[in-house]
Structures are given as structure tokens and as C-alpha cells.
Copies of this chain bind each other. A is one copy, B any other.
Amino acid sequence: MVKVGIIGAAGFTGAELMRLIQSHPAFELHVATSDSQVGKTIASTNPTFIGLGEMCFSAHDDARLFECDAVFLAVPHTVSLDFTPSLLSKGISVFDLSADYRLQNAEVYEQWYGKAHTSVDLLASAVFGLPELKRAELLGAQARFAEGEAVLVACAGCYPTASSLAAYPALAAGMVAPPIIIDAISGITGAGKAASERTHFCFANENLEAYNIGAHRHTPEIEQILGLEGKLVFSPHLAPLNRGLLATVYLPLAQSAKTFGGLDGITECYRDFYRDALFVEVLAAKILPRTASVVKSNRAHIGLALQESTNTLVAVAAIDNLCKGASGQAIQCANIVFGFAEDAGLEAPACYV
């Protein structure tokens, strides 16, 4: 068994990592840290974790982290900077769920996250963790790891994952004339575990809201993945459900849709693109995805529609923000780096209801 650790295990993505690791055939949870829960048995904080027995949350400086083969960082943005260099320097691979090593440009990082990047040298070798779009880089990391090198994977964020999966094939095929618009809706787990008026049941329930339009930190990340710096609008929304993220992406076509074979041709193009992607399903033309069909799984469903009058392709992607949008994707990346089956521990389908 491969020993893995989690720093920041008491939050939503940390808990999701623990859930997935429990079902993983090769990963064994060796240490789980939480600054707020140090010393408590994990199971005592929530009976869901009863399978972890007497294992306790430890402090972020637990020396057993250095006994791990890999460490998952499920800490807030800017906090991963504190842990990553020392882990790597001791030969431990890092799968970072924060944004700290996602942006290649340290100035852009500082601009959006309000803190100077403290390990700029690591950005060049950090691999962006979105396997369907960055497979070559992840296979490179796999090779380096096989040779004994500790690797750093900066796992993609939830909105960037869904948005990019929906937009990328059309962009890569040269079908699109930017700018593009990304309108996305997230369940409330996307707002994190911190209790506030905004996450209070009675304010989030029976409510829809837009937030941070034109100012959400995921904007530069999506721009980087899609190569569309300054050429997209990103507009996130919250809706009253726990898990689920739906991204509706508006892609103005560069030429008439007929040039690309109409909606059927474009659908075929997407299917070709994702032919080997275990977790991505391109639905039949005009069938649009439901988040409920992917929740609590690592799957992404993509549906396509065409607004002929304005010659706009509308690509919609549905994922579970905590799984494919965070912890499941981190496990998927780790599976690739370690040379396991890409879906090891991630096979479970969503529930019908």
C-alpha cells in the first residue's frame, strides 16, 4: 500500500479525500492533519468516518507527513506555499488542491491572491492537474516519479474543470471566435465549510444568487488553460444544493456551424476528443446534462446545443465540485503519477436518486 497524507483534512475537500482513500485499492491514509481539530479522533467529528477507527487528526507539523509517499494539500489558497517546498525537498510528491501552483505567472498570482508567491522556482515543474487536457504533462510526471523524483501536481479548480472540459474541444478545433462567456452555477459546498450568513441554511436555501462576476479568482486560471487571457467573461452563481456544478459556456463560432458539420458534427468532434477519457461522457446532441447524474462520482457529462440565429455553440458541463472538481480529480492525478489504473478508487457510479 502507498502511504498518503492529507494536510487540512477536516474541510470539505479533505473529508472527500478521506472518503475516496478509504475505498482506494492502493492508497492507505497514514496521516490527516487539521489545525482546528488536533487530537480528536476523526470518527468523533462525524460518524461517517467510523471506518477510520481510532485515527486522530494531527497537527500540520506532524512528522509522519514525511513518512508518506504522497501528500494531498487541502488547505486554503496561499497556505500551500507553506508546505510544498519542504515536502518536495524530502522527496514527497505533492497533490495540491489549492490554487498556489496553478498559475504560471507569479505576478498574476499575487494580483488575484494578494500575496507574493514564495516559491516561484517550483512553478516551472508544477504540472497542472486536469488529466483530460494535460495528459502528456501528467505522463511526464509519471515518468519522473518512476525515476524517483518527487512531483508537484497543481490540481485544477472546480469551475475551471467544468468550464474547460466544456470549451476546450471546440477551441482546440479552431471553431471559436473569442471572447467567450462562462456562466456557472455551484452547490453550496463550493462556498466552503466556514459558517457564515452566506452559508447559513436559511439564507442559502430557496435562493439563487450571482457573485463575484468579473472578479472571481478562477478567472485567470480558466484563461490560462484555454489560452484566452482577457478574452472571457466568467460569472459564478450559487444555488441551493450541496454538491454539483453546472457550467454553461457560450462559444461564438468562427464560421457557420455548417462548416463544422452542424451540431452533429461538433458533437462528433467532442466525442473524438474525449474518446479515451474514462470520466467524460459527451451526451447525444441536444441532450443537456444534469448534475444529479454525476454527483458523488468523478464523472463529467457534457451536452451541446446550437443557437443558430447568432451562430453560437453552447456547451454545458456537469460535475461534482468536490469530486471531479477537487478531491476525485486529485486522486485521479495521483493514480496517473503512481501508475495505477486511472479510475482506481473512483469507479463508483452516481446514484439514480
Contact = CB atoms under 8 A, between A and B. Distances in A.
A351 B213 contact: no
Contacts of A201: 188, 199-201, 204-205, 240, 242
Contacts of A208: 185, 187, 239, 241, 244-246, 290-291, 318
A305 B213 contact: yes
Interface in A271-330: 281, 283, 288-296, 299, 301, 303, 305-310, 312, 314, 316, 318, 322
A326 B15 CA distance: 27
A220 to B, nearest CB: 10
Chain A contact patch, size range = 35 or more
Contacts of A139: none
A278 B316 CA distance: 37
Given A196-B195, A205-B205, A350-B48, A232 B310 contact: yes
Given A188-B201, A201-B242, A209-B288, A47 B307 contact: no
Kindly name the residue among A48, A193, A204, A301 whose own CB sees the greatest number of chain B CB atoms within 10 A.
A48
13 contacts: A49-B349, A50-B281, A51-B349, A179-B310, A179-B312, A189-B202, A206-B243, A207-B290, A208-B244, A210-B316, A211-B288, A213-B305, A232-B309
Given A189-B202, A208-B244, A239-B240, 16 more contacts: A22-B349, A23-B347, A183-B248, A185-B208, A185-B237, A188-B201, A195-B197, A202-B353, A205-B240, A206-B206, A206-B292, A207-B292, A209-B318, A210-B288, A235-B305, A348-B348
